[in-house]
Amino acid sequence: MHDAALPARHRAGARHPGHPLPGRAGGADLPRLRPAHPGGARGGWPGGAGRRGPPPGAGRGERGQSRHDRPEPHDPPRRPRAASPGRPGVRHRHPGAAPDRAARALGRLHAVAALRTCGGHHAAGARDRLRPLLHHAVGRGGVRRVSGPERDAMLAAAAFMRVLREGLDTGLELPEALVRSTRVLPGSARRVLRRLDGRYTEDEWGFDEDFARAVEPLFDFLYDHWWRVHVSGMHNVPGHGRALLAGNHAGILPWDATMMSIAVLREHPLPRYPRFLVLDWAFELPWVSTAIRKVGGVVASPYNALRLLEDDELVAVFPEGVKGTGKPFSERYRLQRFGRGGFVELALRTGAPIVPVAVVGSEEIYPMLGQSSLAARVLRAPYFPLTPTFPWLGPLGAVPLPSKWRIEFCEPIPTAGYGAEAAEDRRLVLELSEQVRATIQQKIYENLVERRSAFV
């Protein structure tokens, strides 16, 4: 802003009569206007600084020359009069003058911010003009400094775009430029791109550790917030070597096996990935079968279980089989017969200890009210459950209910002392099988009492 011109009759060689200024002198400066030094008084009117500070100099980006009609350096020198401390630098309105409409309107406006009263004013650059807006937008703390993972991700994205543009500018095709740009990305992003290109590793069972780590956030959410899993007895699980986890089973999908695996990974001092046996019909489901394999699922068969135990793996089995998953909701937490004790034979042949596992909470996630034999035959499934939400809500019906879970790993039952030939002793096999079943059933009842409510 420039200073207002002095009245015409106070200029040198004025041709027109002057008129009083519309604003009242001596008051606060108008909002957003830079205060200017009044200079020396002229024509008999005593001038003063009033409440204004010394005259500002030329700011950054401004030309150091006069912006008003005051005397220039080549004009005849004038001797300034002493400023009266109580008088303003601009004269008052003549008494009796009619009030100006603009003056009344401006007088009712409130100043947005107080003007600075000392020192010169610098020309506001782009950075200085932006800072008050950002300060107003984010509060008194100013702009939030980005640090940590957010900053690393932003820098990686910027480097990726820069290298991509350089490659395109040099004449590379888009696919080649994209491949070249991935070199500046972090390792996690490169692994994702390699997976999209089909470059990843699996073991002979289809287990993919990178995929298992990628889906851990989903399982952690289910573990911590959706099902609020409480785990006890983790010290009974061996930290290394072969072992057999035998637990109760419920639901058409192996969520209980997944939560047992997450519990071992998170709660055990020596975490490792358990391998759990799943009925073969689940591996005929599209997409689901691939996910089950990649997180540690293996087709249930004596041969597969024996090989896993010989490789010193931690193997989870569910001796109830289909009878446990297909029982109605009215029979929940009542263990079915453990068959002929095939899991005990495997433990005796390999000398692996048997760790009974009691799971409470899995019976409520899919409360089965009935079955559809027709749908089961079409899908070639052992049964087709009818729940309060499935299949009535379509895919949403497959979302498990948020029940409260308790998982207890019981004291292990050693088998190494019997020898491999003990697997042929049917009496011993059935006795150990019933011992495991009785232990799980007792712990289920105890945890049901401790859990109290199923959902709250």
Confidence of residue 253 (pLDDT cuts 50, 70, 90): confident
Is residue 3 scored above 80 in pLDDT?
no
Please write the tens of the pLDDT for every residue from 118-173: 444 444 444 444 444 444 444 444 445 555 566 666 776 777 778 878 888 888 87
Structure tokens at 240: 């290394």
Is residue 186 scored above 50 in pLDDT?
yes
**Looking at residue 75, what is its pLDDT?**
52
Q: What percent of the chain has pLDDT over 90?
A: 37
Confidence of residue 447 (pLDDT cuts 50, 70, 90): very high
Structure tokens at 57: 């100099």
Q: In a 3-state reduction of DSSP, which class is residue 26?
A: coil
CB of 50 closer than 8 Å to CB of 89 = yes
Q: What percent of the chain has pLDDT over 70?
A: 61
Of 123-127, 166-170, 289-293, 318-322, which range is least confident? 123-127
The structural domains of the chain, with segments of one domain joined by +, span: 125-199, 209-451
Highest-pLDDT range among 360-374, 382-396, 425-439 = 425-439
Q: How confident is the prediction for the chain on average, in pLDDT?
A: 75
Greater pLDDT, 449 or 192: 449
* Claim: this prediction has a pTM higher than 0.75: no
Is residue 115 scored above 50 in pLDDT?
no
Of 168-172, 304-308, 419-423, 449-453, which range is least confident? 168-172
DSSP symbol at 183: G
**163: Cβ contacts below 8 Å, ≥ 6 apart:** 180, 181, 183, 184
CATH classification of 209-451, choosing from 3.40.50, 3.30.565, 3.40.1130, 1.10.3470?
A: 3.40.1130
Confidence of residue 435 (pLDDT cuts 50, 70, 90): very high
Q: Using a CB cutoff of 8 Å and minimum separation of 24, what contacts does 90-98 make?
A: 90/21, 90/25, 90/26, 90/38, 91/7, 91/20, 91/21, 91/25, 91/45, 92/24, 92/25, 92/26, 93/20, 93/21, 93/24, 93/25, 94/20, 97/20
Is residue 36 scored above 90 in pLDDT?
no
- Nearest CA-CA partner of 365 in 330, 323, 403, 325: 403
Greater pLDDT, 194 or 234: 234
**Looking at residue 84, what is its pLDDT?**
46
Of 170-179, 192-201, 230-239, 394-403, which range is least confident? 192-201
DSSP symbol at 54: S
**Looking at residue 92, what is its pLDDT?**
47
**Looking at residue 131, what is its pLDDT?**
47
Mean pLDDT, residues 370-388 taken together: 84
Confidence of residue 191 (pLDDT cuts 50, 70, 90): low
**453: Cβ contacts below 8 Å, ≥ 6 apart:** 404
Confidence of residue 23 (pLDDT cuts 50, 70, 90): very low
Is residue 268 scored above 90 in pLDDT?
yes
**Looking at residue 201, what is its pLDDT?**
80
Please state whether beta strands 243-247 and 406-409 pair in parallel, antiparallel, or not at all (unpaired). Answer: unpaired
